[in-house]
Chains A and B, each alone.
Chain A
Amino acid sequence: MTGLSKYFYIASTSAKSNVAYLGEVASRVIFLAVILYIFLRLWQVTYAETGASELGGFTLAQMLWYLAVTESIILSAPRITQMVDRDVRTGELAVHLIKPMSYPLYCLGTSMGERVVRFALNLGVGLVIALIFVGPIPLQPLSIACLLLALPLAFVLDFLANFLIGLGAFWLEDTTGLVLIYSRITMILGGMLIPIELFPEAMQSWLRVLPFASIVYGPAKMLVAPSTSALTELLIIQSLGIVGVGALVAIVYGIASRRVFANGG
């Protein structure tokens, strides 16, 4: 087995490990149910007050389905920065460095495996909740296909951003602050709570091209309003984001690993 295939095996082992320990994974699902219920009530009031049947092109049912996807994406995020932080601080890094593999790709593999399991579970529960509260929305095979195609790069991009912050552990006492800032920005500017369409007109155009929206809003919108042209555009933004953040990761990891080799794990 050569090249990248070992990292796919790392991902599948990580997925297996997360399935084996579903208890902790499932605890976040309860949180998801509570959040979805709260937002359902908020949106019900909003739709009733404004008297509109659609807001930003979303019906109430579509809004809740959209929320089920965005919340599933956000709540499935593996704690990558904590993982890197722990590896650096405890010297666990040594265990990975003595193997013929790349540490960043190893982290990518473990995080993707974890995320797939968490996301599948979250989305399953989220969609059931949406179905119970607001009923089905018109779904075509294209919606599902577009959603599935939009997710992998979104997850990779999100990983790279988190890993970049995690590398801060080589210099900083604590990276939790940075993680909080990043995750809150992703939640708000990424469109977790409200779709980009409901932001002020002036903000919408630049929000759409920022990487945050391509992680959260982009994939979720596919389920509600699938379109191949929107998907293509999304994949291009995601790819550009991956190239940009990936280059930063490569540079910072290069500096960080020189530091490790000089100072020890």
Chain B
Amino acid sequence: MSPAIELANLSKSFVVKSGKGLNRESKEVVAVDAISLEIEEGQSVAFVGPNGAGKSTTIKMLTGILTPSSGEARVLGFVPWKERTRLTRHIGAVFGQRSQLWYHLPPGDTFELLSRIYSLDRDKYRQRRDHLIEIFQMSSYLDTPVRKLSLGQRMRAEVACSLLHFPRVLFLDEPTIGLDVIARQELRELIRNWNRDEGITVFLTSHDAGDIESVAKRVIIINHGRVVLDDRVSSVKRNYLDSKVISVKFREEPSGIDMDGVETLKSSYHSVKLAVDTSLVSIEAVISQVLKAAPVADITIENPSLESIIAHIYNQH
């Protein structure tokens, strides 16, 4: 089987002008630097990197909106920037901060309009719509204008809309941005299940390390336009996602927290920031120790930032 997405030395550089008036200077900025990779049909891939790493630029080239400076790419056999119109029928895309839903109309109306734009067969369309409404749990707000929906509901509708025309590849550009923890988890599960049940190829970009674990089987980390790491999520998880960061604010000065696998990153009068190596000690054990140390005012558990993971990767190589 030929891969669903192929990139060979794909590069994109932009000319950025700086300065004012006559002193304007042109500078070439490389956004994507000779990326080569293959993604099998049905695979789900997380394309992650910090802001400005070249994720969106890559998605834009793969959806045919942007022409690369050099290199080649094929999506489902089409060269995206040359055969964009034909490709549009086979791919779906969600851009996290941009909406395809009509703001003053309920999501149901956008479904209807999209069925027209993609010239879907009426019966096939109705079946598909009902299926999507069920899976994405949209029936309770199908007739509510989009402007009254929560961001989580809206994003579910966005993803459902982009699946209406039976695409074989789904591009998701930062779909979880701005969502709260629960909505984020719901959306990740929906995307993961859809990928598993329908066999659609999923290409997801994110700058949130949490998206790596939950959605994809394979993770590609990019930084400054280059692939830093391309591996199975399970091994990335083992090697780089085995730590959590706990930030605690105490009401009183705490007694010291001293455990194996716990490192104090920062400590000031009433608050501490701890790095926990979850392969050595469980989060629960650390939390109960924290609660004993002093009355707690606030506590957050986070994944390590992508920047620190990337630094970790660079250090190892």
Contact = CB atoms under 8 A, between A and B. Distances in A.
A184 interface: no
A99 interface: yes
A140 B305 CA distance: 73
Interface size class, chain B = 20 to 34
Interface in A75-98: 90-95, 97-98
A100 B100 contact: no
Contacts of A18: 104
* Main SS class of interface, B: loop
Nearest to A93: B65
A17 B91 contact: no
B275 to A, nearest CB: 37
B98 A98 contact: no
B14 A263 contact: yes
Contact of A17 (B65, B89, B102): B102
Contacts of B104: 17-18, 20-21
Contact of A13 (B57, B85, B109): B109
A95 B98 CA distance: 7
B109 A260 contact: no
Interface in A8-66: 9-10, 13, 16-18, 20-21
A95 B97 CA distance: 11
A93 B63 CA distance: 13
A206 interface: no
A111 B207 CA distance: 37
Contact of B63 (A1, A98, A262): A98
A261 B66 contact: yes
Contact of B95 (A2, A94, A262): A94
B113 A98 contact: no
A2 B88 contact: no
A264 interface: yes
Contacts of A13: 102, 105, 109, 112-113
9 contacts: A5-B116, A6-B117, A10-B117, A20-B104, A94-B60, A94-B65, A95-B95, A95-B99, A98-B63
